[in-house]
Amino acid sequence: MKSGPGEMRYLVLADRAVPYLLARVRWPDVAQAISAARPDWLDDQGLFDLPYDPGAVTVSFPQAASVAAGWGRQLHAEAAEGAPSYIRRMPANWSDLSPSERRTWGIEFVGRRRVPARRARHLRPFQAKTAAAQANSQVDALARPAGGPGIGIDGPAANGRGHLPDVRSTLGNVATERRRHARVRLDGRAYIRCEQTTISAGLVDLSQGGARCVLPEAPSLVAAGAKLGGPFLLEVEVDTSRICLGVAGRISWHGSNGVSGHFGVGFGELSDDETEGVQRFLAAADRKGVRR
């Protein structure tokens, strides 16, 4: 007696936190993926191995839909019918793709180019500039309701690699956090996994340590200390920039000004590539004028 197909899983592969491959897998009948260069679904039996690759990040349907929309495709719940197939002659190794695989998915250069020295020099002054601006800024009135906790606390959260510190709400600690992780205000959206729910919230500001988000009415799941399983998908609304941080985190604080609910998200420990991805994301937002 054979069991029926299981639940559809959505996964992304990212280079410096930028998604470049989106797959949907359901054993034994669905193994399809798209990329930015090839936004049409392609069947590939090797995708059944993708959930076991250490570089793959499992995302929710809304997060996957956001990635697909960025590539000009609407994501449907069911698999595409009649999609062409990629015929393999070797087992799949998604952490070390063959030249044929790279050509098929249109990702020949993914993971091979590092930041040129000139670009790296641009990132460092940008970080210094934002750090100086944040050190001189005051806490936003919306983000600091009367009697509420101080905003800007984005202390490190655990993802299995560290300990969650106590949430602190004094202005001195706010200043310390801002010096440690320069925050940049921008207009965007954050797709956050909280238990079995994906929350779509406005992205107010972002740093390497966390983010500040806003919702008209925050659900009960958004409570100080609530653990977040990740990943976090962040996007700029007026641009195509997206990053996917495959880490866990937590809600570090929550407050309301009577009109909307603001809350802070603390990220777990980012990898070097994810840290670079956040820096590039913020630098791109600064160059294209999408900051507030």
Instruction: Strands of 135-241 (E only): list them.
Output: 184-194, 197-206, 210-215, 227-228, 232-236
Tell me the three state secondary structure of residue 142. Answer: coil
Give how far the C-alpha of residue 95 lies from the chain's centroid of Cα atoms, to the nearest Å: 20
With the C-alpha atoms ordered 134, 140, 146, 152, is the resulting torsion angle positive or negative?
A: negative
Q: What is the pLDDT of residue 289?
A: 63
Is the residue at 1 inside a domain? no
Q: Which of 84, 105, 126 is the last residue of a domain?
A: 105
pLDDT at 139: 34
Query: What residues make up the domain containing 198?
Result: 117-287
Tell how far CA 65 is from the center of its chain.
Answer: 13
- For tokens 């040129």, name the residue: 116
Residues 99 and 149 in one domain: no
Tell me, what amino acid is at 205?
D
Cα–Cα dist 242/188, whole Å: 10
Q: What is the pLDDT of residue 89?
A: 82
* pLDDT of res. 103: 93
Kind plus residue range of the DSSP H or E element containing 120: helix 117-136
Q: What is d(CA 116, CA 123) in angstroms, rounded to the nearest whole number?
A: 11
* Structure-block tokens of residue 120: 């790296």
Q: Is the same domain home to 129 and 261?
A: yes
Contact between 169 and 253 under an 8 Å Cβ cutoff? The reply is yes
C-alpha neighbours within 13 Å on the C-beta side of residue 63: 31
Per residue of the chain (292 residues), what is the pLDDT tens digit?
Answer: 444 568 999 999 999 999 999 999 999 999 999 999 999 999 999 999 999 999 999 999 999 999 999 999 999 999 999 999 999 888 899 999 999 999 999 998 886 544 444 444 455 555 545 444 444 443 343 333 333 333 333 333 333 333 333 333 333 333 444 446 778 999 999 999 988 899 999 999 999 999 999 998 877 888 899 999 999 999 987 777 899 999 999 999 998 877 788 999 999 999 999 999 999 999 888 776 655 5
Residues in the chain: 292
Give the domain CATH number at 128: 2.40.10.220
Same domain, 55 and 136: no
Residue 66: in which H helix or E strand, if any? helix 61-70
Residues of 81-91 as b/e, b for ≥16 C-beta within 10 angstroms? eebeebeeeee
Quick one: 164 exposed, middle or buried, by C-beta within 10 A (0-12, 13-18, 19+)?
middle
Q: Are residues 147 and 268 in the same domain?
A: yes
C-alpha closest to that of 247 among 17, 10, 7: 17
Residue 156 CB burial class (10 angstroms; 0-12, 13-18, ≥19) = buried
Last residue of some domain: 105, 130, 150?
105
- Token readout for 105 is 């998915």
- The answer, yes or no, to whether the previous bond of 19 is cis (omega within 30 of 0) is no
The verdict on residue 112 lying in a domain is: no
Type of residue found at 6? G
Q: Are residues 71 and 211 in the same domain?
A: no
Q: Number of folded domains in the chain?
A: 2
Give the pLDDT confidence score for residue 220 in this predicted structure.
Answer: 80
Closest by CA to 26, choosing from 57, 1, 48, 50, is 48
Question: Is 163 part of any domain?
Answer: yes
128 assigned to some structural domain: yes
Number of C-beta neighbours around residue 145 at 10 A: 16
Q: Are residues 261 and 197 in the same domain?
A: yes
pTM: 0.77
